[in-house]
Structure 1
């Protein structure tokens, strides 16, 4: 009489869960040799070899459906060699992608750490390097339109559609805000790929290098105006001259009390402070 093994025994011997074996049965990958009237499943010794085959190709990274296709087509040794070679190429590709992703994560992490070293909630003068940025073309300039326009543009530029690469800059007209407290937005983002050019969606420009009045904060978005007021007060008290728009740069975020707190920098280009007598 042939020796049969219960699904529990197969589970222990193969180090696979009973649920996994039932899933293999459902997919037609590894059906039991015998199913009794009470529903108990039993497997033969030969099915260990089939199970080894499945485990081998799973470790190669193939999906269960791909393995089923291989089994149905009765893969040859030569076919196995080709498959192994292709999987080697695929693993090399994944390693390159992971290394690239790791560098982006390291860069993002270093950027956030360096920004956290700046004083929080206290205006100061900050030297900035020239930076290539892209202005998103918008019909209106309220915050909702800015967000929608930005997301539509990013979807047309796959090379920029990476959360680790993107740094958003919201531009506010300084004069309008200072006089009327009205906020009209433009939105920009960093350009990493030098091959990107002007089109109907974006205009390539730059953030000028020079001295900026800056303030960093970690707070709920609705509180951002108080930091703008602190920054403008600092500019006035230090007799600084403004040269351009006010920017909000989003660095990172955290969640607190079911609400998002933004880690952001508010900054505006200025001329050197006048010496006080």
Structure 2
């Protein structure tokens, strides 16, 4: 019978000697022989057992459960284990399929975001949109991001993942808009069709812009939109909406940030 030293098993299976010794300590994988010098030797039987251990560990089965199975192997136990493995694999496949769908959606969103017409002011009629809202005054993108996280955590089951796909934003009050406080936010929101509040339907003056959230860059966009409102006799009709389409969650390059401003308006002619 061919025997292998512990170092050979370690190299063959890319498993540390410490792990093999841990398995031995737990009586999960015992060497075939241990000589007077303390050298451990493994046979093909232990190699076969190690294959089972590695497979079961990959499926998330605990070491104690593996030990119990290896010490009481019967046809009934083997059948039960195979059935459990099939259930585990099916669950992992479902999880991977959901992950694939999310990644595909995210990939599509990132591609679409790069096709947005930046810098063009448009008047759009938008439907009512369901949102979760946290009304609190904040001044920086980091504070807004923290509010978004709080909203997410408050949703039952934490089923929301706000940090992508243009689902999150903030409000600027009418008073701050008129005063020119364009980086003073009165609340944050996350779009969700199951939410308990909504952003009203209506006409919105919209602008997508790129770049950092500096006061200069933000003011420049709002001054352009205010000039447009004056030219076309439009007045503010509610809180301003900012939607963060690409931000700190997608890129570290602030010049790649993409934000949409939506100003609710009505004609005063």
Q: What's the TM-score bracket when you normalise by the shorter of the two chains? A: 0.7 to 0.9
* Cα distance per residue 1:151-204 (max 9 Å; x no partner): 333213124332458821200013322225262421111123x3x5xxxxxxx2
Count residues in correspondence: 256
Residues 228 and 95 (structure 1), Cα distance of their counterparts in 2 relative to 1, 3 Å cut: farther
Long gaps (5+) in structure 2: none
1:113-152 counterparts in 2 under 5 A?
113-136=111-134, 138=135, 140-143=136-139, 147-152=145-150
* Cα distance per residue 1:221-246 (max 9 Å; x no partner): 22433322332233223333332221
Contact (CA 8 Å) 1:218, 1:262: kept in 2 or not? Answer: yes
TM-score, normalised via structure 2 length: 0.76
Q: CA deviation at 1:46?
A: 2.9
Residues 87 and 166 (structure 1), Cα distance of their counterparts in 2 relative to 1, 3 Å cut: farther
State the match for 1:106 in structure 2. 104
Q: CA deviation at 1:116?
A: 2.8
Contact (CA 8 Å) 1:25, 1:32: kept in 2 or not? Answer: no
> Larger deviation: 247-256 or 162-171?
162-171
* Cα distance per residue 1:50-82 (max 9 Å; x no partner): 22322342454535554245335x243212222
Q: CA deviation at 1:125?
A: 2.7
Long gaps (5+) in structure 1: 197-203
State the match for 2:23 in structure 1. 27
Q: CA deviation at 1:148?
A: 4.4
Cα distance in 1 for residues equivalent to 2:200 and 2:169: 13
Give RMSD over aligned pairs: 3.4
Structure showing the higher strand proportion among its residues? 1
Contact (CA 8 Å) 1:170, 1:187: kept in 2 or not? Answer: yes
TM-score, normalised via structure 1 length: 0.74
Task: Find 2:245's aligned residue among 227, 251, 260.
Answer: 251
Cα distance in 2 for residues equivalent to 1:99 and 1:189: 25
